[in-house]
Amino acid sequence: MEENGEQKLIAVARHIANTLGHTDTMTDDILKIFSNFDGRLREKLTEKLSDEDPRDCATLEHTLKSLDRQISRYVASDQPIWSDSDDSSSFLDSMDQLISTIRDWNQLADDKNIASCLDRAEDLLQQSMFRLEDEFRSLVERGADSFDLTLGDSTHLDCLDEDESGDENEIPVAHPITDYNIIIDALPAGTIGDLQEIAKRMVAAGYGKECSHAYSTCRREFLEESLSRLGLQKLSIDEVQKLLWTQLEDEIEKWIKAINVALRILFPSERRLCDRVFLGFSSAADLSFMEVCRGSTIQLLNFADAVAIGSRAPERLFKVLDVYETVRDLLPEFELIFSDQYCITLRNEAITIWKRLGEVIRGIFMELENLIRRDPAKAAVPGGGLHPITRYVMNYLRAACRSRQSLEQIFGESIAPPGSNVDYRKGDDRVLSSPFAVQMEWIMELLESNLEAKSKIYRDSALCSVFMMNNGRYIVQKVKDSELGTLLGNDWIKKHNAKIRQYHVNYQRSSWSKVLGVLKVDNNSMSPNGASKSLKEKLKLFYSYFDEICKTQASWVIFDEQSRDELRISVSGTLSPAYRNFIVRLQNAPDLGKHADRHIKYGVEDIEARINELFQGSGSSRR
């Protein structure tokens, strides 16, 4: 009785399996599930399955022949399968059945007959994958061809008008871009949907890398063309270093535009497209994105690296700073876009090059120091005027301070240069706010030392003072009128203004002390006749000294009008009263009387007029 019940149960299980299973394979799967519910059924149901293995192999054979007929028709077709939606749907259904069949029968691959069938199934799958790859590539290319590189209403990468483009083979240059808040949908939505379906089958069949490669090959060309339209040339590091400086400046401008568009528009758009095409397959999406963007990213980073390893001549500072600031400002984009396992090396390379650019900028300032040290003290500047090295260095530093924030960052970890007596870390009376400020003061010290050496060329100590006064005044003015004043502070400015006043005093002492000494008269020990004779001789000597000074110093230069006026007023304020008193004494001499005037060559007003002709740089003096 129990045996009959068991047989009935087995029969019912088989009936249910046959009813629910649309194929023999599905029926067998259901029987296996039933056998797991009761150990008593496992042996008998397993025996049933074993008995039916020859029929199962025949079923597999039949299934493969049917799929081969369906798939081969599409694989051999000269027409794109995706040109007809019915064909593409039918082909994908056949692919689903083939992939499912191989997966379901792999567990029985130990059987030689089934293994032979599976080998044929794998061959059919490979042919199908090749055709799917071709269809995938064709869809990407056709979608890109139909896409106009428009980024917005007024900003775009699209081609120029035909009459502007010139050579047919020349890639047109894009219009300027001002709005980076843009995402490009580089493929139509329908095409993206088709690509998703193909990618799903290829990944499921184990051909994910082939699918990624097909995708990246096409999209990589799109990126390269986009960068070309932005004016960026494909230059190796050696080619960049061989460019003339003016050419390199132009290429840097193009590079800045290109890398901004790439990191803020093109790469994010490609990331979004990869994620949509390979929806649900993050690893395939990451791999595809890396393969698409790697070449363009390396091209952009290599250019920055070529700039970094080039000459450290001081005139390159400002363009190198542009490259440094561009990479720095784009590091958040590098962090965001290149965060997966495949792209992390690109992100790290960007950080490395950014740091290298900072080292180069510090090196450029070292070259500036060497330039100042090596500037020879050969020929004197005519008239004690402004030396070219002063003008160059101060304008250079003033321009550099426009990038103060970046330079503060670059010098952030540096220390005071060797030989500098400034300590910004301790509480002396010249504490500076930052290492960059220390660097600026150190360059100022070098410049002042260089100028002091150059001032020794002048044999006339008064002219030496004029030279130092001119250059010192120029330095202070440039400091006060720029960020240098903030960096160096008021104490520095006060100290150097005091130096200028001392040069002023030195000039007057060197030039006019002897003249003023002549006008001093002591009559206590002289007779009236002797005093008169002495006054006449002193006046004659005064005019000799005065004329010589005016003749010489008329060609000297005080470039700053305020300083020139102050110096003239100071000289007049000292000399005019002394000369007036001397003339009065001469006129009051008893033995000269009314004849005194014949000895007087200049009136006080004449003296003042002659003084006001000094420092014109004209080489002549009005008599």
pLDDT, one tens digit per residue, over 145-188 is: 655 544 433 344 443 333 444 454 444 444 555 556 677 777 88
pLDDT of residue 362: 95
Spatial contact of 457 and 380, defined as CB atoms under 8 Å apart? yes
pLDDT of residue 116: 82
75: three-class secondary structure by DSSP: helix
Tokens 């007036």 sit at which residue?
A: 580
Question: What is the identity of the amino acid at 116?
Answer: S
The token pair that represents 276 in the structure block = 């949509």
CA distance 180 to 178: 6
Alpha helices in 401-460 (DSSP H): 404-410, 435-455
Q: Quick one: angle between helices 483-518 and 561-587, nearest 10? A: 20
Question: What is the identity of the amino acid at 392?
Answer: Y
Phi and psi, residue 224, nearest 5°: -60, -40
The token pair that represents 594 in the structure block = 């009314």
Residue by residue, DSSP assigns 531-593 as HHHHHHHHHHHHHHHHHHHHHHHTT-B--SHHHHHHHHHHHHHHHHHHHHHHHHHHHT-TTTG
- The alpha carbons of the chain give a radius of gyration, in whole angstroms, of 46
pLDDT of residue 180: 63
Torsion sign, CA atoms 280, 286, 291, 293: positive
Residue by residue, DSSP assigns 339-405 as -STTTHHHHHHHHHHHHHHHHHHHHHHHHHHHHHHHS---SPPGGG---HHHHHHHHHHHHHGGGHH
Residue by residue, DSSP assigns 489-541 as HHHHHHHHHHHHHHHHHHHHHHHHHHHHHHT----TTS-HHHHHHHHHHHHHH
Phi and psi, residue 160, nearest 5°: -75, 165
pLDDT beneath 50, residues of the chain: 21-22, 48-55, 149-166, 168-174, 416, 418, 422-431, 619-623
CA distance 144 to 185: 10
Rounded to the nearest angstrom, the gap between the alpha carbon of residue 549 and the centroid of all alpha carbons in its chain is 56
Spatial contact of 297 and 346, defined as CB atoms under 8 Å apart? yes
Spatial contact of 70 and 98, defined as CB atoms under 8 Å apart? no
CA distance 478 to 103: 80
The token pair that represents 191 in the structure block = 């095409």
Spatial contact of 177 and 264, defined as CB atoms under 8 Å apart? no
pLDDT of residue 478: 95
9 CB neighbour count, 10 Å cutoff:
15
- Nearest-5° angle of CA 5, CA 6, CA 10? 120
CA distance 385 to 378: 15
Tokens 């992100």 sit at which residue?
A: 347
Spatial contact of 156 and 240, defined as CB atoms under 8 Å apart? no
The token pair that represents 603 in the structure block = 């009136």
CA distance 366 to 459: 33
